[in-house]
Amino acid sequence: MPHSAGEAWFTERMLGLAGYSYRIKRTLHSEQSAYQQIDAYETHSHGNLLVLDGCIMLTERDEFIYHELLAHVAAQTIAAPSRAAVVGGGDGGVVRELLKYPELHVSLVEIDERVVRVSERLFPKVSAGLRDPRVSVLFEDGAKYLASRAEGELDLIVVDSTDPVGPATALVQDSFYAQAARVLSSKGVFVAQTQSPFFHAAEIRAIYAALGGSFDRVWMYWGVCPSYPGQLWTFCYASKGSHPLDDFDPPAGLSQRLGTGYYSAAVHRAAFALPPFVQALLPEGHSQRVDL
């Protein structure tokens, strides 16, 4: 159905092949930072919308899905986690979710300070945790940050990055994964978003092959993220020993305890059941390639 005359729309174009659009009421912010183009809009249906370099990062209506999946799938399988680092994620959504674990101290490592400042102003419910005393906000390169950490220092590393272009390319390199494995404790877990199987099949294959070079255990999980082109979105869970299902022993009423809207015990388990076309993106011999 064509847009009506006079309507304003934002459209993310995916690889020149497809697009995802929101009808917008007004532009809230637009600037070119030292690293990327930052735009924010008020939409008619999804609240405020954050866009980096033309790519949708979040909407207020459904951001909880992505942030809950990045934070809780790992945190729920680590016994008494105490130190976490979030690489990227300047909007603060992952930090907000991780603060639901009272003993966890979080370092947010975001290369672009302007993303944080725009989010604090226009997405206050997402960024609310950034001023918590258990949070350290560091404006530096995530790869350099991990290289400077001590061996075994962290229990959890969450990479909440844009697509692997520009500064984010450093976050999908063999050297980055090796540093992440080095600084994780024996019970530690590394998680990251690994894009859409519909649009990024080659990138997903490369990421999981590289992860296997640094981590003894690597799994893929997935969720439905409506605002991202492709909607079915993948994530990695990598560890030295922790198991995403065997070490998952949730209390009754998990989602109520955490105050989550998407994540639950049942969703956690189901997220590791991969459709065959997604299993096919994993390396030969991978334990999740069960239906091929």
pLDDT of residue 194: 95
Rounded distance, CA 235 to CA 129, Å? 23
Buried b / exposed e over 187-201, threshold 16 CB at 10 Å, is bbbbbbbbbbbbbbe
User: Which residues participate in catalysis according to the annotation?
Assistant: 160
Q: What is the CATH number of domain 63-279?
A: 3.40.50.150
Enclosing H/E stretch for 208? helix 201-211
Residue 203 has pLDDT above 90, yes or no: yes
Q: Which of 122, 125, 56, 52 shows the shortest CA–CA distance to 95?
A: 125
Question: Could you report the per-residue pLDDT of 137-188, keeping only the tens digit for each?
Answer: 999 999 999 999 999 999 999 999 866 555 556 667 888 999 999 999 999 9
Please give the model's pTM, rounded to 2 decimal places. 0.95
Where are the domain boundaries for CATH 2.30.140.10 in the chain? Answer: 9-59
Question: Could you report the per-residue pLDDT of 237-271, keeping only the tens digit for each?
Answer: 999 889 999 999 999 999 999 999 999 999 999 99
Buried b / exposed e over 235-248, threshold 16 CB at 10 Å, is bbbbbbebebeeeb
Whether the CB-CB separation of 80 and 103 falls below 8 Å is answered with: yes
The architecture that CATH gives domain 9-59 is Roll (2.30)
Question: Could you report the per-residue pLDDT of 49-91, keeping only the tens digit for each?
Answer: 999 999 999 999 999 999 999 999 999 999 999 999 999 999 9
Where are the domain boundaries for CATH 3.40.50.150 in the chain? Answer: 63-279
